[in-house]
Amino acid sequence: MSTTTTPLVQGVDFITIATSDLDASRKFYAEVLGLEPSILYGDDPVGAEFETGNLTLALLDSAKLGLDVKPNNHPIAFKVDDVHAAKAELESRGVEFSPDILDSGVCHQAFFRDPDGNTLALHHRYQPREA
């Protein structure tokens, strides 16, 4: 394997999230999380996109693509100013968290799942990254 000093990857355009019920997932990401919907794919939608400010989330109806729904068990971390306040707000909207807020010594995180069981997290870094 050869290496190069010229970077090929310029960033990440989107991440894909598997869903078995596109309508329920769209409602969750738009109405519960408050994310901005941007695109719906096709007349019989196979997917939808939501904007987070720096990364697009692409929800895909796995069955329509001939794929098994396999929820991601590693979190997509949503940056928030205050994990405690954001957690309380989402709990008021019916979101369940488990376990309680994690304090890693540099950040707070709170974990929850979307309707298909994909793991998500609220995240706030309160200490700068060390080199």
Q: What is the pLDDT, as a whole number, of residue 3?
A: 67
Contact between 120 and 112 (Cβ < 8 Å): yes
- Band (pLDDT 50/70/90 cuts) for residue 14 is very high
Asked whether this chain's domains 1-70 and 71-131 adopt the same fold, the reply is yes
Domain 1-70 has CATH 3.40.50.360: no
Q: Where are the domains of the chain?
A: 1-70, 71-131
pLDDT of residue 29: 98
Residues 18-30, mean pLDDT to the nearest whole number: 96
Consecutive H or E run containing 4: none
Distant-in-sequence, close-in-space partners of 28: CB < 8 Å, separation ≥ 6: 114, 115
Q: Report residue 65 as tokens.
A: 């693509």
- pLDDT digit string, tens, across residues 41-91: 988 899 999 999 889 999 999 999 999 989 999 999 999 999 999 999 999
CA dihedral 99, 54, 10, 16 (to 10 degrees): 60
Could you please state the CATH topology (level 3) that the domain comprising 71-131 is classified under: 2,3-Dihydroxybiphenyl 1,2-Dioxygenase; domain 1 (3.10.180)
Straight-line distance from the first to the last Cα atom of the chain, in angstroms, rounded to the nearest whole number: 28
The predicted model scores a pTM of 0.89
pLDDT score for 43: 86
Distance CA 77, CA 120 (A): 6
